[in-house]
Amino acid sequence: MASLGIPEISPEFEAQLSDGLSQVEDRLREQIVGKYPLVIETSRHLVDAGGKRLRPLLTLIASHYGDPSRSQVIDAAVVCELTHLGTLYHDDVMDEAPLRRGVMSANTRWTNSVAILTGDYLFAKVSDLLADMGPEAVRLQARTFERLVIGQIMETQGPSAGVDALEHYLNVVADKTGSLIATSARFGALLSGAPRDIMETLTTFGEKMGVAFQLADDVIDISSESFESGKTPGTDLREGIPTLVTLNVMKSHDSADAELRHLLSGPIEDETTVAQVLRELRQHKALDESRSQLVSIAKEARAALGPLPVGAPTGALLSLCDAVIDRTA
């Protein structure tokens, strides 16, 4: 697999994308400057922690369906990553997460208030960048942010009476994760001047890809004993947050799962119990069922690329779908 995490990508195209990501990294740090050292320190906390940079990568790939040299392409990639980072600061407060991307979360290192305000600061930086991109870009960001917020509210509220819990969860994932990944691809097409039909195709692909990416993290959170998903394994169990794997267990009518379903019905505070539940889930058929659901959605994302022209960008997007599946193997 290439260093960008895209298998079978051509060296020439990889070099172009790597150069673009290097510019994104520089621009990210340029945005976090000022006369307040604490603000700079807290804002750069997650920037410096790294991450997959999937969203800016998609923006850069999508820009190759138009003119990738347009100056606003890099700024659009930065907008997507800063938006994502801002939501992570807020998520960690809501989840009381101790770790993020393998480092101490901002709310743990400082306070919840500082973490929330840091997220708000990053959103302000996003607005500043968007001001020069035109009304369509501003409107796209506003509608994406609306979906991010609605997704978080829906997750907090839980499914309404009579609504299937798994269906509700997939809608939450589409809003909380799929929307911004779809927007990342759409920004790349929009600001590079790609044809409108290609932009719509990339948006459809991005949403499905985003859902698959989150479901892969759900599987990894259970199956991996490392911090591959960017947080402590079993974090969602501790917080009582339903995920694909646990929802598949909860819909089981097998009497042998009664105790496990009881434990999964709320937060698990005891670390010994968390370890026990993780062991049981790793042996449970729900894990394989979840992998199958993930593969199905990744294949839908792949199929959505059908109308795109054959070439390096389309090949890279197809390979990204494969890489998402391979993460959970």
| 246-286 residue pLDDT tens | 999 999 888 889 999 999 988 898 899 999 999 999 999 99
How much of the chain exceeds pLDDT 90, in percent? 61
The phi, psi pair for 145, rounded to 5°, reads -65, -35
Q: Report the SS3 class of residue 307.
A: coil
Greatest mean pLDDT range, 103-112, 139-148, 217-226: 139-148
Residue-level pLDDT at 312: 95
State the pLDDT confidence band at 109, using cuts at 50, 70 and 90: confident
Residue-level pLDDT at 316: 95
User: Between 189 and 35, where is the model more confident?
Assistant: 189
How much of the chain exceeds pLDDT 70, in percent? 94
Mean pLDDT across the stretch 46-50? 74
Q: Range with the lowest mean pLDDT among 28-42, 58-72, 164-178, 204-218?
A: 28-42
Any idea where the domains of the chain sit in the sequence?
A: 11-194, 196-324
State the pLDDT confidence band at 231, using cuts at 50, 70 and 90: low
Return the HEC string of 134-160.
CHHHHHHHHHHHHHHHHHHHHHHHCCC
Residue-level pLDDT at 1: 38
Residue-level pLDDT at 49: 75
- Fold agreement (11-194, 196-324): yes
**CB neighbours (10 Å) of residue 261?**
15
- Please give the CATH architecture assigned to the domain spanning 196-324: Orthogonal Bundle (1.10)
Residue among 32, 243, 5 at smallest CA distance from 128? 32
CB 258 within 8 A of CB 213: no
Mean pLDDT across the stretch 144-163? 92
Class of CATH domain 11-194: mainly alpha
CA-atom Rg of the chain in angstroms: 20
Sign of the Cα pseudo-torsion (238, 240, 244, 248, in order): positive
